[in-house]
Amino acid sequence: MSICIYGKNPARENVRSGSAISLKVNPRNAKDPIVSEAKANHIPVEILPDAELTKLAKTAAHQGFVTVCKDYKTVDLEDIIEGAKQKKYPLVVMLDGIEDPHNLGAILRTCDAFGVDGLIVKTHGQAPLNATVAKVSTGAINYVKVASVSNLSNAIKELQNNGYWVVATAGEAKQGYEEVDYACPICLVIGNEGFGVSRLVKERSDFLVKIDMVGHVDSLNASVATGVMVSHIFSSRKGK
């Protein structure tokens, strides 16, 4: 199967990563470097009017670029664990029921930016890897390994058996996120937009942490919380 992804930045990364089957652009972008790169990589290029691109993208906000891409595939959790073994301090992110594709796309972008070794999602009750997620991720979806698992508790057990400490975010936690030593293999758990991390996942976690806030709103968007946590973990490990 294939999907259509629109936008200039996603098109560039789809071409570079090799996930693009074909590239379609409007006449104004016929000489864009992305077109040259696609041709150099033997990716078919088609020049189409904006109206045709809008039909393919199902939106007029395509910026003159639509890529037809291979459907995104998930990997096994074992692939993520094995692939991160050469890292001194691996980091994986687990999502406990993220439903908004915009949040999932933004989280993928954060994971790519900070070198996260893999993303773990639920097979059911989770936003799928679709065109919206790909667009919001600005191409990061091509580079971050994603494992889809049927049971998060079993996944946590497997990670712990492989030396990972599991840190879940929870508003009721007593410990601040900056109080944990992240100089070890870490699985960071981010919960559902409305309900947070589920009870069973909290019980299976090694640490529950909160992000202290001083404003009038006492919660953060799931993708923003992921950015805060991953950035802190990345920074705290420097020099260790």
Q: Choose the CATH number for 77-236 among 3.40.50.740, 1.10.1060.10, 3.40.1280.10, 3.40.50.720.
A: 3.40.1280.10
Average pLDDT of the residues in 176-204: 96
**pLDDT band at residue 102 using 50, 70 and 90 as cut-offs:** very high
Element (H, E) at 109: helix 101-113
Q: For the purposes of burial, counting CB atoms within 10 Å of the CB of 108, is it exposed (0-12), middle (13-18) or buried (19 or more)?
A: buried
pLDDT band of 240, cuts 50, 70, 90: confident
Of 62-71, 147-156, 196-205, 216-225, minimum mean pLDDT range: 216-225
What single string gives the DSSP state of each residue in 86-105? TSSS-EEEEEE----HHHHH
pTM above 0.75, yes or no: yes
How far is Cα 10 from Cα 18, in angstroms, rounded to an integer? 12
Cα distances from 112 to residues 57, 137, 161, in angstroms, run 25, 9, 25
pLDDT value at 239 more than 80: no
Q: What is the pLDDT of residue 86?
A: 92
pLDDT, position 189: 98
- The overall average pLDDT reported for the chain is 95
CB 218 within 8 A of CB 166: no
**What pLDDT does residue 54 have?**
96
Inter-residue contact 192 to 96 (CB < 8 Å): yes
Per-residue tokens: 57: 């993208």
- Residue range 69-97: mean pLDDT, rounded: 95
Give the residue from 168, 204, 162, 165 showing the smallest Cα distance to 181: 165
Return contacts of 43-48, CB within 8 angstroms, 24+ apart.
Answer: 43/15, 46/22, 48/24
Label residue 216 by pLDDT band (50, 70, 90): confident
Rounded to an integer, the average pLDDT of 143-167 is 98
Q: Quick one: CA dihedral 190, 195, 201, 203, positive or negative?
A: positive
**Could you tell me which CATH class the domain 2-70 is placed in?**
alpha beta
Instruction: Name the residue ranges covered by the structural domains of the chain.
Output: 2-70, 77-236
